[in-house]
Amino acid sequence: MIEISGVILIEGLIYGIMALGVFISFRVLDFPDLTVDGSFPMGAAVMAACLIGEVPFILAFILTFIAGILAGMTTAVIHNKLKVPGLLAGILTMTMLYSVNLRIQKGSPNISFLRVDTVFDKINGVFKGFMSSTWSMLILLLIVFLVIKVLLDLFFHTDMGLTLGAMGNNEQMVISQGVNPRVLKMLGIGLSNGLVALAGALAAQYQGQADVNLGRGVVIMGLASVMIGEFLIKSNKIAYLTIRVLLGSIAFRGIMFLARNLTFLSLKPSDLQLIYGMSIILLLILTRRKEKKSRRVG
Amino acid sequence: MLELNNIGKVFNGGTVNENRALKNINLKVEKGDFITIIGSNGAGKSTLFNLISGSYSPSEGSVIIHDRDVTDEPEHKRARHIGRIFQNTMLGTASNMTLEDNMMICSKKGFKGLKISLNKSRRDFFRSKLKDLDMGLEERLKDNVGLLSGGQRQALTLLMMVLSEPDLVLLDEHTAALDPKNASLVLDLTVKFINEFKLTTMMITHNMEHAIKYGNRLLMMDRGEVILDVKGEEKKNLTIKELIERFHNIRKREFANDEALLSE
């Protein structure tokens, strides 16, 4: 049981970082960004290249983050310059990234980390004897998540962060304040995909391989996590908004674990995409119900 | 301070839907002017504001602000000089953010850096300014703006606009969406701020009484043209009846001209 909840928490934390990125694009910027399905495996690919090339971990994560930012900025530039909807811009980048990722992985769709030390192997090595590998991974990921969360909270308190917060809500207001909305979108979508790529790098190391198909359905998982989080906590404070993304992510992982293990459903791993999609539909129905109710009360 | 030279705006040019929204507008606004603008729907009032603020670029002519040609400057750059308030009360504030966040964003025009400026002294400053509005908003700094009424929202937008110290204020029927009580409240506040801070203002209104009562200059627009421009003493003595009469006189003459042209 402890082992199972450990897995759920670890996955929740890794995918929670990705969900933070989705939260920034979908919720803060109101920009439905599908780049995520490409930048997640891109993070994995860049990390694979770094591990094989024996790049130090810190530098490897920085490179991953930068790669994600560039992917996001590509989407923002397509959207800004060609005036196409964000949805299309994201799909374009995502499609192109598939080829780019294969290039980074030198043409092989799958790179195993069996022969290299991942960040988790390293941390297990350090804490061997003190605690189990699950615990050391959990503690590492919790620290990573909290650092990212606190930095994000701080960012959203700065003048720039506040203005970014107003973007998705009221672009006209941002323009009226003399701020270029295109620059803000570049920053926001870039930051979002940077986080997604980081999560991709962690997920690949956790699974022991980088796979170009790792990104399939990731954006839907992220969105589901964000939406579940919104059910759990209602607030307008950024500190709560970011922590509820994590809670939503852990809850989503828990629900998915249950779905996989309800034997009478006799689900196969290939059914997961269907379940991800259906969970979003269910969440949308629930959200609508809730909104209707609160409108009647108000 | 603001100059419009031969401004024209054509929508859907070259198609069957061609619409000349503005024709040959020449206007010079001096510092400290308070200009009221009236005209029926489709007269081109809002288009005029969109051209000044840069939401649209003109088909012909030039826009000069502070002796600088800004015709091709994007809206967000020009916005550093301009404080604009819309009829739609939702456009001035971000509803899912708090009052203090909104006020912070609107405190200073231009690029926002990675500085945390919202601190206690800022909050105290905001609170004291909100107190002047006399709406009880000083107790609600941490509330989302979405919870405010339309009148409160527009008053807040007005306050934030004034605090950002714009050179030119554009009010686009900013009280039209409010109920009569709130509308007069916001209008009184507007006039108070304009006088207090000597704001150069252009105000579109549907209310002829207000157009006459406030400001030092009145423009009447019709079908894309400024057909009446009254200033100073002449404006002070204007009455609604006279205004309507003059409108009919001007338009009748043109009508006669059209007929003369057609009969030839």
Tell me how close the Cα of B233 comes to any Cα of chain A, in angstroms: 35
Nearest CB among A154, A158, A170 relative to B93 is that of A170
Q: Is A228 a member of any domain?
A: no
- pLDDT of A205: 97
> Are A159 and B75 in contact (CB < 8 Å)?
no
Q: Give helix A36-52 / helix A2-22 axis angle, nearest 10°.
A: 110
Integer Cα distance of A75 and A58 in angstroms: 26
Report the residue of chain A nearest B109, measured CA to CA.
A177
Q: Residue B3: its pLDDT value, please?
A: 93
- Flag whether A78 is in a domain: yes
At residue B72, the pLDDT reads 92
Cβ of A236 under 8 Å from any chain B Cβ? yes
The pLDDT tens digits of the residues spanning A2-60 come to 788 999 999 999 999 999 999 999 999 999 999 999 999 999 999 999 999 999 999 99
For the residues A262-269, what does the mean pLDDT come to?
76
Taking an 8 Å cut-off on Cβ atoms, the answer to whether A165 and B75 are in contact is: no
The b/e string for A25-56 (b: 16+ C-beta within 10 A; e otherwise) is bbbbbebebbbbbbbbbbbbbbbbbbbeeebe
> Which residues are bridge partners to B170 per DSSP?
B84, B202
In a domain, A6, yes or no: yes
Banded pLDDT at A266 (limits 50, 70, 90): confident
Judge whether A256 lies within some domain: no
Residue in chain B nearest A168 by alpha carbon: B94
By C-alpha distance, the chain B residue nearest A160 is: B112
Q: Do A178 and B80 touch (CB under 8 A)?
A: yes
Q: Which residue of A has its CA nearest to B170?
A: A176
Backbone phi, psi, residue A144, to 5°: -60, -45
pLDDT in tens, B60-111: 999 999 999 999 999 999 999 999 999 999 999 999 999 999 999 999 888 8
In a domain, A250, yes or no: no
Q: Are A69 and A194 in contact (CB under 8 A)?
A: yes
Is A170 part of the contact surface with chain B (CB cutoff 8 Å)?
yes
With CA atoms as reference, the chain A residue closest to B106 would be A177
Query: Could you give the angle at which helices A133-155 and A181-207 cross, rounded to 10 degrees?
Result: 180
3-state SS assignment for residue A33: coil
Contact A172 B91 (CB under 8 A): yes
H or E segment and range at residue A110: strand A110-112
Owning domain of residue A76: 2-212
Q: Is A103 on the interface with B (CB under 8 A)?
A: no
Q: Report the pLDDT value the prediction gives residue B238, as an integer from 0 to 100.
A: 87
Q: How far is A86 from chain B (nearest CA, A)?
A: 21
Contacts of residue B95 in chain A, CB cutoff 8 Å? 169-170
SS3 label, residue A31: coil
Q: How far apart are CA B177 and CA B13, in angstroms?
A: 32
Query: Which stretches of chain B score pLDDT less than 70?
Result: 253-264
Cβ contact B115–A175 (<8 Å): no
Inter-helix orientation angle A238-261/A272-297, to 10°:
130
Is B79's CB within 8 Å of A177's CB? yes
Check if CATH label 3.40.50.300 holds for domain B2-263.
yes
Q: What is the pLDDT of residue A297?
A: 57
A298 inside 8 A of chain B by CB? no
Nearest CA in chain A to B101: A162
Whole-number Å distance between alpha carbons of B200 and B83: 10
Q: Is the residue at A118 inside a domain? A: yes
Angstroms from B77 CA to nearest CA on chain A:
5
Domain count, chain A: 1
Sign, CA torsion A156/A161/A163/A168? negative
Q: Which residues of B touch A181 (CB under 8 A)?
A: 76
Alpha-carbon gap, residue B125 to B100, rounded angstroms? 10
- Number of neighbouring beta carbons within 10 Å of residue A128: 11
Cβ within 8 Å, pair A169-B111 = no
User: Which one, of A32, A157, A236, A153, lies nearest residue B146 by Cα?
Assistant: A236
The mean pLDDT of A70-76, rounded to a whole number, is 98
B156, B89 contact by CB (below 8 A)? no
The answer to whether the beta carbons of residues A36 and A21 sit under 8 Å apart is: yes
For position B264, what pLDDT does the model report?
A: 34
Q: Report the distance separating Cα B57 and Cα B162, nearest Å.
A: 26
| Closest CA of chain A from B144, distance in Å | 7
pLDDT digits (tens, 9 = 90+) for A149-175: 999 999 999 999 999 999 999 999 999
Contact yes or no for A44/A217 (Cβ under 8 A): no
Asked if A219 and A23 touch (Cβ cutoff 8 Å), the reply is: no
Could you tell me the sign of the dihedral formed by the alpha carbons of B226, B227, B231, B236, in that order?
negative
User: Across the interface, do B91 and A170 touch by the CB < 8 Å criterion?
Assistant: yes
3-state secondary structure of A180: coil
Express each pLDDT in A179-207 by its tens digit: 999 999 999 999 999 999 999 999 999 99
Q: Containing H/E element for A210?
A: strand A209-211
Beta carbons within 8 Å of B64's beta carbon, 6+ residues apart: B2, B3, B4, B5, B70
The pLDDT value recorded for residue A45 is 98
Chains A & B: contacts with CB separation below 8 Å: 91
What does the domain layout of chain B look like in residue ranges? Answer: 2-263
Mutate which: A30, A81, A162, vs B, most B CBs within 10 A:
A162
Whether residue B112 and residue A159 make contact (CB cut-off 8 A), yes or no, is yes
Contact with chain B for residue A87, Cβ under 8 A: no
Confidence at residue A267, expressed as pLDDT on a 0 to 100 scale: 79
In the DSSP assignment, the letter for residue A66 is H
